[in-house]
Structure 1
């Protein structure tokens, strides 16, 4: 009797094991919508970052202003190319915007193949570099914009925004757009890190 019960128990346990085996891969499809959703959100954030970085570059590049009063020998004008910091800002924003455009195909790959780690890891590394460049350019330009608005009596820096209002408005808008791009980059890096951590 005992030997029969043991022979009956063995097939039951193997049947239970066989019944459990197909259920093991079931949780994996649940991760795919999560990863795919992150990839789609990442793609939308990249489009937003493209708009903000290129808008910042365009605003800085068109920030020239000439005052209406001038003499025969002197003409008062302000332009982004008068300050190396603003030139660096323009070049940095153009580079970052170009990188974001080139990164779109890799972002699409992460949507089509949510479990692919290679493209996502590449995007995390390059996004971190672009984030650093955007932050450096935005912070440097913000310091010059602050001096343009408020001046610095200790170093005889004059506030020029009372005279060059349009110029200051454009460069200030460019700096704000660059910091919006910084926030978008931070969110993209965090999302990619979360997606990589789920593997």
Structure 2
């Protein structure tokens, strides 16, 4: 009986030693996984905060472009009995499209702010980020089309085209040309910011 008891005690002590030896080995990967998850969440939250700031900047740029172009109107001080020389943005369909497109873009950016905030609060959520990258891509195309078409008209206003017998009008309509040029620059700034937004969303989705 004494030998059996001593044998039982030895087996128990050896098994407890084995468990004590294995416990740290099992705990290490769990701690590493937790650390990686926290770091990944911190990176995603940083991307989401930067996304939020860029959306505010893009909204200001698109809204400024729409307001600048939409308020562009100049009347020359000289006129005749039958003609009054006036230049307005709605005289050209391209500028009208420009105003509408940038107004849509700025409105979309306002609506996208809550989704950007959700991405900050829940950095691992894929749905809001996927929705944003889809609509951001659409807005890139719309804003680029509006800015590029308006830039072509502004160039003709500054330089003219002798082959088509189009005269440069910016020497007479200086204020008109300055306002339209500023609107086009603001719209292109919004385009560049949108490109960064798409890249940020892609990075956030890649790490999901």
TM value normalised by structure 1 = 0.93
Corresponding residue for residue 11 of structure 1 = 19
Alpha-carbon offset, residue 143 of structure 1:
0.3
Corresponding residue for residue 173 of structure 1 = 182
Corresponding residue for residue 4 of structure 2 = none
Corresponding residue for residue 87 of structure 1 = 96
Structure 1: unaligned runs, 5 residues or longer: none
Bigger radius of gyration among the two: 2
Distance, in Å, in 2 between the alignment partners of 1:74 and 1:18 is: 89
Write out the 4+ residue segments of structure 1 that deviate beyond 2 Å after TM superposition. 6-22
Instruction: Trace 1:38-187 onto structure 2 (pairs within 5 A).
Output: 38-187=47-196
Distance, in Å, in 2 between the alignment partners of 1:64 and 1:144 is: 16
Distance, in Å, in 2 between the alignment partners of 1:62 and 1:124 is: 32
Residue-by-residue CA offset, 1:80-114 (whole Å, 9 max, x unaligned): 11110000000000000000000000000000000
Alpha-carbon offset, residue 19 of structure 1:
2.2
Paired residue secondary structure (2:85): strand
Distance, in Å, in 1 between the alignment partners of 2:85 and 2:27 is: 84
Distance, in Å, in 1 between the alignment partners of 2:65 and 2:71 is: 10
Residue-by-residue CA offset, 1:93-151 (whole Å, 9 max, x unaligned): 00000000000000000000000000000000000000100000000000000000000
Residue-by-residue CA offset, 1:6-48 (whole Å, 9 max, x unaligned): 9678535642443235313221011111111110110010000
Alpha-carbon offset, residue 73 of structure 1:
1.1
TM value normalised by structure 2 = 0.89
Structure 2: unaligned runs, 5 residues or longer: 1-10
Matched, 1:190 2:168: no
RMSD (Å), alpha carbons: 1.8
Corresponding residue for residue 34 of structure 1 = 43
Distance, in Å, in 2 between the alignment partners of 1:53 and 1:143 is: 18
Distance, in Å, in 1 between the alignment partners of 2:30 and 2:66 is: 55
